[in-house]
Amino acid sequence: MFRRFYPKLWVKSAYEIDYDRLYQEGIRGLIFDIDNTLVPHDAPPDERSIRLMQELRQKGFSIMTVSNNHEPRVRSLAEKLEIGYIHDAHKPAPRGYLAACSRMGLLPEETACIGDQLFTDVLGANRAGVRSILVLPVDRSTDIPRIRLKRRLEAPILKAYEKHYGGPVGR
């Protein structure tokens, strides 16, 4: 019942993913969520997120963000990170993911999505045929009330996932 919400990989942080392994497995494009995936909710990019994007580009990845947020927020962050973006994506609709793949010149199976929410990031990636990678939120204290409610609804799904596959990997 919950399988459509299951990520292909659950990792503690976007900063702990084995990107070399993803590349070896044929992943050439990365789609990142913004808030609480790379930086706290509504925070600007920090040195760590900027450095990660630079390192990933050097490895040969194409990178975009697909966000449900409005264009000013998404554009500002994407410009500072020097990545492409799709705003108002209506995740979990697959349209934004597929558009990102198209802009990167990649097939969905050559792409991975990294995000912190099951009902938007993971479900949307799974629906689009993109490899889904769930990360723990950067800072849950910055979640807005709507996101806090979603996290409570995600809890039984994550518990079921953990029972079958274990918890998040990483430090």
Query: How far is it, in rounded angstroms, from Cα 152 to Cα 131?
Result: 24
- Over 60: is that where the pLDDT of 137 sits? yes
Closest CA to 113 of 41, 17, 46: 17
The answer to whether residues 112 and 22 touch, using CB atoms and an 8 Å cutoff, is yes
Query: How far is it, in rounded angstroms, from Cα 122 to Cα 8?
Result: 9
pTM of the model: 0.94
Q: According to the model, what pLDDT value does residue 1 have?
A: 65
The domains of the chain are located at 3-165
Q: According to the model, what pLDDT value does residue 140 have?
A: 76
- Radius of gyration over alpha carbons of the chain, in Å? 15
Task: Return mean pLDDT, the chain.
Answer: 94
Instruction: Please state which architecture CATH assigns to domain 3-165.
Output: 3-Layer(aba) Sandwich (3.40)
- The torsion of the CA quartet 94, 45, 53, 38, rounded to 10 degrees, works out to -50
What pLDDT band is residue 145 in, cutting at 50, 70 and 90? confident
